[in-house]
Amino acid sequence: MSETIHTKTVVDQESKKVIAGKKNTKADSELTVKDRVKAIIGGSIGNLVEWYDWYAYAAFAIYFSSSFFPTGDQTAQLLNTAGIFAVGFLMRPIGGWLFGTIADKVGRKRAMTLSVLLMSFGSLLIALTPTYATIGVLAPALLLIARLLQGLSVGGEYGVSATYLSEMATADRRGFYSSFQYVTLIGGQLIALGILLILQNFVLTDDELSAWGWRIPFVIGAILSVIALYLRKNLHETEAFEKNNDTADKKEENGSIKLLLQHPKAILTVVGLTMGGTLAFNTYTTYMQKFLVNTVNLTKEESTFISFLSLLIFAMLQPVFGLLSDKIGRRPLLLAFGVLGTIFTVPLLTGLANVTTMWGAFAFLMVALIIVSGYTSINAVVKAELFPAEIRALGVGLPYALTVCIFGGSAEYIALLFKQNNIEHYFYWYITGCIAFSLVVYFFMKDTKEHSMLNKD
C-alpha cells in the first residue's frame, strides 16, 4: 500500500515537472519573429546606453583631466586620467562573474536590468564630483570609485547582452543579429562624441567645456540609463534560459565557477581570440581621439570630428560583416582580421602618426577599422556559441572581461607611457604581437557556426 502511494506521489511530481516544462516551452515557442526583433532592439538600446556612459569618460577626458589632477604637463594629466580608465577595467572581471552568475541562475533579463541601474549611479557620481581645486585628493578618489562602479556594470553587460542577443536570434541570422551588440557599443561612443561635437561647435567655448561643460554628458548618461531600465524591464526572457532552469537542482548548479571549469578549451579560446581584437579595438576607438591630438597634432575639434565620422561608418559595417558570417562562417572573418592586423598595424599607425592632413588621418583610421570589423562584428556570437546555456553568460563574460582588463583596459595607459618616454612606435609592435597570437587561435579553432552549442539548446 505504502509502495503504491509512494509511486503515485513520484508520478504526480514528475507530471507537474513535465507540465511546467511544457508551459515554458509553449510560451517561448509563441515568440514570433517580430517579438524576437523587438527583444533584440530592446536589449541593444540598453546596451547602447551602458556603453555611452562608459565611453563618455574617454571622449571628455581631454577636458576634465585638469579638473581632477594638479596642473602641469598635458600628457601627464591624460596619463593619470587613463590610469583611472584602466583601473575601471579591473572591475570588469568581477562584473563578468557577478552578472554572468545572475544571468545563468536568475535570468538574462534581470541581470541586464541590474547592470544598467549600476551604470546610472556611476555616471551621476562623476557628474556631481567637485574638482581637485575644491576638495583636493578626494576628487580623483571619487572619480576612481565612480569608474569602478561603471567597470563592474559594463563588465557584466557584455557577457549577458551577448548571450541574450545570440539566444534571441534565429539560427540562420545569429551573426547578423548579434552584430548589433557592437553597433550599439560603437553607437554609445558615437553619441558621446556627437554630444561633444555639439558642445564644442554650438554651445560652449573651450574654456567653458574644461571648467564645467564636461559634466553635461554624465548627467545625460544618468537620465538615459533610467530610460534603458524601463525598456529592459519589458523584455522577453530567452527560451534557452527557461529550458535550462526548470528544476531547483539546475538553478543551483547553473552559473557556477565549478561548472565553468568543466569547459577549459572554450575558456582558453575566448581568451585567445579576444586578446588581439580588444587591444586593436580600444586603440582605434577610445584611445584614437587622444592620439590624434597628442601625436598627430590635430585640434580637439578635428580629432572629435574624425573619430565621430569613422565610428559612424564602422558601426554600419558591423551588420554587413555579421551577415557575411552567416553565409561563409565565423572563422574566415577572424582569420582575415588576424592576417591583415598582423601585417598592417605598424604601417597604418606609423602612417597615421606622420600624416599632415585631417582627411589623410581619416583614411588611415578607416582602413584600420575595416580590418578590425572582422573581429568586432562576430566576436559576441562566437563566444556564445562555445558554451551551453547553463553556463553561457558566465562563460562569455568572465574570461572575456579578464582578457579585456589586461589588454584592452591597459591599451591607452601603455600607449601614453610609451609616448611620454619617446618610444611610441613600440606600442605599434605590441599590438601586432597580440593580434598575431590571436591569429594562431583563429587558425586552430573550429568554425563555431558549424559547431555551435546554441544549436543544442
Closest listed residue to residue 106, CA positions, set 232, 220, 280, 244: 244
Which pLDDT score, from 0 to 100, does residue 432 have? 96
End-to-end alpha-carbon separation of the chain, Å? 41
Which pLDDT score, from 0 to 100, does residue 9 have? 44
| pLDDT bracket for residue 202 (50, 70, 90) | confident
Query: What DSSP element (H or E) covers 135?
Result: helix 132-135
pLDDT tens for residues 407-430?
887 888 888 888 888 898 899 999
Which pLDDT score, from 0 to 100, does residue 20 have? 38
Domain boundaries, the chain: 37-237+250-456
pTM, 2 dp: 0.80
Instruction: Tally helices (H) and strands (E) across the chain.
Output: 23, 0
| pLDDT bracket for residue 79 (50, 70, 90) | low
Asked whether the predicted pLDDT for residue 68 surpasses 90, the reply is: no
CATH assignment of 37-237+250-456?
1.20.1250.20
pLDDT tens for residues 318-333?
999 999 999 999 999 9
The 10 Å Cβ neighbour count of residue 347 is 12
Higher pLDDT, 51 or 434: 434
Query: What is the arithmetic mean of pLDDT over 62-83?
Result: 69
% helix, strand, coil for the chain, step of 5: 85, 0, 15
Q: How far apart are CA 435 and CA 430, in angstroms?
A: 9
Whether 177 contacts 152, CB under 8 Å: no
- On the CB side of 362, how many CA atoms lie within 13 Å of its CA? 15
Among 44-53, 242-251, 274-283, 376-385, the range scoring the smallest mean pLDDT is 242-251
Which pLDDT score, from 0 to 100, does residue 256 have? 82
Which pLDDT score, from 0 to 100, does residue 343 have? 96
pLDDT tens for residues 363-415?
999 999 999 999 999 998 999 999 998 899 999 999 998 998 888 878 888 88
Where in 182-260 does DSSP place strands (E)? Answer: none
Asked whether the predicted pLDDT for residue 249 surpasses 70, the reply is: no
Query: What is the arithmetic mean of pLDDT over 212-219?
Result: 91
| pLDDT bracket for residue 71 (50, 70, 90) | low
329 three-class SS: coil
What are all long-range contacts of 193-202, with beta carbons under 8 Å and residues at least 24 apart?
193/59, 193/289, 193/304, 193/307, 193/308, 193/311, 194/308, 195/56, 195/220, 196/59, 196/60, 196/304, 197/301, 197/304, 197/305, 197/308, 200/300, 200/301, 200/304, 201/301
Higher pLDDT, 442 or 61: 442
pLDDT tens for residues 83-119?
776 677 788 899 999 999 999 988 888 898 888 888 8
378 three-class SS: coil
Whether 153 contacts 115, CB under 8 Å: yes
Q: What is the mean pLDDT of the chain?
A: 83
